[in-house]
Amino acid sequence: MTQSLSILCFGDSLTAGFYHHGLEYHPYAKKLYECLQAAFPTAEFMIEVDGAAGDLVTSPPGSFLSRIQGKCVTKKYDWVIVLGGTNDLGYGNNPDKIYAALQGCWNVVLATGGKVLALTVPECAADSAILDQRRAELNSYILSHQAEQFYAFDLKSKIPYRSATLVFRDGIFDDGLHLTPAGYDLMGSVVGAHLINL
């Protein structure tokens, strides 16, 4: 890994670290930074967070594409970690449409020469077979996507809800969708461990 690395954590409220009804924020980028610094103590890591609560990947009305274009036109990032689709799925948007919109965002980064780490959409407390099916379909698209400089990470498998114990849920999930500070730290740790090995 290079001595200096710039990383953009990009997405919605889960990237922003939203918890306590949005009164407080604890981005996973904090723990990500700690993990990377511990693994490469002589390297310099510059991590930015751009998480917009409630934003959608699909446009209109989502502004994912315009936001990531705005970030990448002014600065070249070595890595952009993208998590999107949670809100789109909540609105019932088609996984094919969400995937196409995500590709547009990924391609903005790839065109600059940067690398993309795309995260799968985690589970939530909502008990809906249709939602589960659409999430699984979208995540399958993300994990099977192939492009040079593109990588995917199955975040969903690392932060389970349905198969988790009540103790895990209470410690990790704040409101059934967003995470607690401990949950965001777990997210930063698993993303960091994956990034270190790439």
Pair 81, 119: CB distance under 8 Å: yes
1 has pLDDT over 80: no
Confidence at 2, pLDDT banded by 50, 70, 90: low
Q: What percent of the chain has pLDDT over 70?
A: 99
In this predicted model, what pLDDT tens digit does every residue of 112-142 receive, in sequence order?
999 999 999 999 999 899 999 999 999 999 9
CA distance 132 to 136: 6
69 has pLDDT over 80: yes
| Mean pLDDT across 163-180 | 94
Domains in the chain and their CATH numbers? 4-196 (3.40.50.1110)
Closest by Cα among 104, 106, 120, 102 to 77 = 106
pLDDT at position 127 is 86
Indicate the pTM of the whole model.
0.95
**Cβ-proximal residues to 46 (8 Å cutoff; 6+ apart), any chain:** 4, 5, 6, 7
34 has pLDDT over 80: yes
161 has pLDDT over 60: yes
In this predicted model, what pLDDT tens digit does every residue of 92-108 receive, in sequence order?
999 999 999 999 999 99
